[in-house]
Structure 1
């Protein structure tokens, strides 16, 4: 092999690598993915959270997925929004009545402050309190629940999933960073780094064209729930965490299949 040929091949290889690197940079720049971390010193749920949708009935639809709230179970998910957005996954394609309920803790017990009826649609559904002009309070913890009404004559067959949410004050630094950031993925990343699950997820859900960010957040949460399950000794809580890990993975697989 001649020296001249070697130089040409080296030059072409360098240009190819440079081109690939540039393309990769552009791809990452336009589809940046946040890394979600659990909040510092998170609160433990007061009420058992989870889902009863692991059982089989006419409402389950695809056996590989189930009704699932997109929220942490190992600890109470946090938000800095007074009108946060809630998200959950509906497995079946048939539209059914669904109820979103919100509870405020009073003297340690949940008291309902709102119930909103709606129609289900398959995949990820969202609901923002801004739609009903309902506001939460900083320093308060709430329980939220979605119920898929499978059989009006047999309420016991409803599929129910729930989680808790805590409203925390936003730090001046984060508030300033968010106000100066236009790109949704950068805002999502800022929220995710601070353990603000609901805010990070809301930013990604408001921009569904970047599905990679949504799926990555779910994968990050699934991994954190899995790690937490390995440290839990209470059997029921461990079971809830293991089921949530499985459900989140199933949702990721189902959403990837739609690409």
Structure 2
């Protein structure tokens, strides 16, 4: 399932799709794009057969310049789960909470812990100043969901947003008038939800890194020759731009829901170790 603000039901022979729009105001009364596209598969085996597809993701060269973020801090190369004392009254501009510690998610919290849709063993790249990020929430029965973005090595977020929980694949476009990633600087983005463990209300946060890079001439040339969104997504994937490839496919799917595009999305997820998400989506 991918999450949306418009409602546009469409039934195909194999999949049934429901586009739903959710409008969530930020603390500054800005309305960002928070999308949810719900997809139910009547025949998961048929969709699973479409996963190999033509799209192939090639990880970027990890030895390339700019391997460290601002201040020499290295951004997360894989998703990290943190647990800290619950503090949901915090807003932008206030002091950061106590340092969180890396934890193994308690069994009772697994259904409500988000999964970030990023490569599991390296830092994802983007060419966009305000990229789109996606995550998966298995269970919508959580009280609150909070998104934050900060520079690597810093505690205070440069952007924070409280969102309405909803199950499935959730897509969030960082607002252009609020966020502008700097080229060569690494950032950490996170999604947090509450969970009750050992009688205490804790905040479980899952975070991953992202870095903006300047598009090389070769990428620009190949994109200019691509005539469809899926072709552009394949160029991004082959060149190692994870966030751009996934965003291009998600946007194309929202505009024109079809099995081929959704198959490419699941194929990308499968290639970076998110096979559990693919399995769950295939069972819907």
The TM-score normalised by the length of structure 1 is 0.67
Alignment map for 1:90-239 (pairs within 5 Å): 90-94=137-141, 96-105=143-152, 108-130=153-175, 133-150=178-195, 154-156=200-202, 158-208=203-253, 209=258, 210-222=261-273
Aligned residues: 197
Cα 1:155–1:82, aligned 2, differ >3 Å: closer, same or farther?
Answer: farther
1:250 is aligned to 2:271: no
For residue 107 of structure 2, give the secondary structure of its aligned residue in structure 1: coil
If you compute each CA radius of gyration, which structure gives the higher value, 1 or 2? Answer: 1
Structure 2: runs of 5+ lacking an equivalent:
1-48, 69-73, 82-102
Structure 2 Cα separation of the partners of residues 74 and 90 of structure 1: 21
Cα 1:46–1:129, aligned 2, differ >3 Å: closer, same or farther?
Answer: closer
Structure 1 counterpart of 2:21: none
Cα 1:155–1:175, aligned 2, differ >3 Å: closer, same or farther?
Answer: farther
For residue 206 of structure 2, give the secondary structure of its aligned residue in structure 1: strand
Q: CA RMSD in A?
A: 2.7
Cα 1:104–1:221, aligned 2, differ >3 Å: closer, same or farther?
Answer: same
Structure 2 Cα separation of the partners of residues 181 and 143 of structure 1: 31
Structure 2 Cα separation of the partners of residues 131 and 94 of structure 1: 30
Cα 1:218–1:53, aligned 2, differ >3 Å: closer, same or farther?
Answer: farther
Contact 1:69 1:163 in 2 (8 A): yes
The TM-score normalised by the length of structure 2 is 0.62
1:54 is aligned to 2:111: no
- CA displacement at 1:211 relative to structure 2: 1.4
Contact 1:49 1:161 in 2 (8 A): yes
- CA displacement at 1:60 relative to structure 2: 3.7
- CA displacement at 1:80 relative to structure 2: 0.6
Question: Which of the two has greater helix per residue?
Answer: 1
Question: Which of the two has greater strand per residue?
Answer: 2
Contact 1:61 1:93 in 2 (8 A): no
Structure 1: runs of 5+ lacking an equivalent:
1-26, 223-247
For residue 61 of structure 1, give the secondary structure of its aligned residue in structure 2: helix
Structure 2 Cα separation of the partners of residues 100 and 60 of structure 1: 18
